[in-house]
Structures are given as C-alpha cells and as structure tokens.
Amino acid sequence: MKKRILGKNGLEVSELGLGCMGLTFGYGPATDEADAISLIQKAYELGITFFDSAEAYSQGINEALLGKAVKSFRNKVVIATKFGFQNGDATQGLDSRPERIRAVAEASLKHLNTDVIDLFYQHRVDPNVPMEDVAGTVSDLIKEGKVKHFGLSEAGISSIRKAHAVQPVAALQSEYSLWWREPEKELIPVLEELGIGFVPFSPLGKGFLTGAINETTQFDPTDFRNVVPRFSEENRKANQSMVELIKSIAKVKNATPARIALAWLLAQKPWIVPIPGTTKLHRLQENIGAVDIELTQNDLQSIEEASSKIEISGARYPQHLQNRVGK
C-alpha cells in the first residue's frame, strides 16, 4: 500500500488507516478480543500502518486491545489516540484542562504499552479551556518525547488556526464522505492553506454507503446509529438514492460500493487518509481493495454531477452531539 504524509512534519501513514472504535464501542457488543487482535494484525499484513483509538472508546479497553495487537510490530505503525472527555466518558462532558491532558497521555501510554503516542488528538474542542493552553500542553508533551504529533477532531476553523499557531497540527479528524460533504466549504481550504492532513472518519457513512443497510435493517439496541437522525427508518429509505448512484459506478468499475466510496475520498486530495472501521475480515479486505481503484477525471465529474442532484435527509448527529462540533 502506498503512503501519504499528514502535516508538515513528515507523519507518514498508509493511505488507508483502520478505525478501531467499533471493535469495543459504539456499534453494539464488543468484538471477541482474539478476533479483534487478529483483525488488527491482518490489517497490518495487508499494508495498513495507521491505527486510530481513543480514551473514550471504552475508557482504555480499546487502547489496550490495540497495544496488544501491534506489540510485535509497534515501531512500524502509527498509533493515534485522543483526549478531551471527563473521565474518558463522552457522556460526562468535555475536559481538556492541561492536567487532564497529561493524565490521559500517561494512561494511554500504559494502555497502549508504548513509550510514545504518534498522534494525540483533542477529541472535541473544550470551550472552557483556551486552545492555546491545549496546544501548549501537547507541545510540552512532544518536547518531553511522550507524543510525536498533535491533532484535532471535529474542530472549527478558528480553533484550528489558534492551535496551529502554537503547535503545528498534523491532522484534523472529522467526518467526510459522499454523503457528508460539509468539510469542502471551509475546512478543506484551510487545511490546504496550513498544510494539515485530513483524516475522515465514517468514510462509508457509518456503513450506509456499503449498500448493506436499508429501511428494514435492525440495529443492536446499544448501536449508536439508533439515535442518529440520518439513520431513522424514513431517512434510510430516502437516502437510498445515494447508494444507488454509488452502486451504478461500482458496477461499471467491477468494484463494490464501499471501494468506490473510499476511492472517491482518496482522489480528493493527496493528504486525505480515510480510516474506515470494521469488525469483519471480509469487510477489511474489501475496504483495502479501494486503493487499487483508479477514478478518472471523467468518473469524478460524473459522480459530482449525479450526487449534486441528490438531497440527503437527516442530520448526522443528534442535537446534543452536534453542539460539540465545529467549535
């Protein structure tokens, strides 16, 4: 697999990463530990060198799982994790006080069984802590050798500029896909201007763009998608037109919808690195196949023309979560 560079300080990663959240958190029951470890190790064998976790994904359990999985090849991969919630629990509110950032860093180093965090993101901007203090704390952790690179997740333009002025930001992680294109308006031009990489999460629209979800799909009671307006039964039905578009392109390219959706993202900018997550080996292999798909300018133009006529129904977050975004 080819490599891409995030930021101006040479953070080199595989052109696709693996989002590890769903292995323990967010999408129903946790994956069996042995199966999860096997999946992460298979991803590495297939060329993925970029793995994404967070304190808030099961309060360290996700990080510990990742640490176990990559132990034998730790120095050949890039591990990203995140701080920013009270007690590492997203339901308890935000906390990016400098002492909390330091405490999370120490805990993450232990959970991951590593001596350095390659990429340390602020999970959500904390309006109660000046961004200069957040960036300054991570800058100190970088000087101390505990962290290599600084990232932000779901941050707005003003926060990105403030942070970057104190400590260069290597990457912004936010949602971006064929059915959530908001970042194109303001975020992507600013990232390009500042030389910051972009790491789209949910690049397959939380599974919707694979074509495997329709209005009759039943999610596990603990699945996050149950509270997402875009995933209401009515909106799943309304949004099938986007899936049909992707399927039609996939048919021409002899590919799957997931591969087309990921290939489209990869074609947008050379500094975009999507991190699709999965718990299934066959989905992992399917996703990785996206790197071999060449979308021509004509392909991209026809996707653009067709998708611009499709109106997506439903918000991507319930309101209380949307309030934390873009600050």
Print burial letters for 210-237: b (CB count within 10 Å at least 16), e (below 16): bbebeeeeeeeeebbbeebebbbeebbe
Distance CA 245, CA 157 (A): 32
**Residue 176 annotated among the catalytic residues of the structure:** no
Per-residue three-class SS string for the chain: CCEEEECCCCEEEECCCEECHHHCCCECCCCCHHHHHHHHHHHHHCCCCEEECCCCCCCCHHHHHHHHHHHHHHHHCEEEEEECEHHHCHHHCECCCHHHHHHHHHHHHHHHCCCCEEEEEECCCCCCCCHHHHHHHHHHHHHCCCEEEEEEECCCHHHHHHHHHHCCEEEEEEECECCECHHHCCHHHHHHHHCCEEEEECCCCCCHHHCCCCCCCCCCCCEHHHHCHHHCHHHHHHCHHHHHHHHHHHHHHCCCHHHHHHHHHHHHCCCECCCCECCCHHHHHHHHHHHHCCCCHHHHHHHHHHHCCCCCCCCCCCHHHHCCCCC
Q: Which of 27, 44, 57, 176 is catalytic?
A: 57
Q: Which one, of 327, 325, 17, lies nearest residue 171 by Cα?
A: 17
Residue 134, Cα to own-chain centre: how many angstroms?
21
CB atoms within 10 A of CB 323: 11
Distance CA 291, CA 153 (A): 24
Q: Would you please indicate which residues are annotated as catalytic (active-site) residues?
A: 57
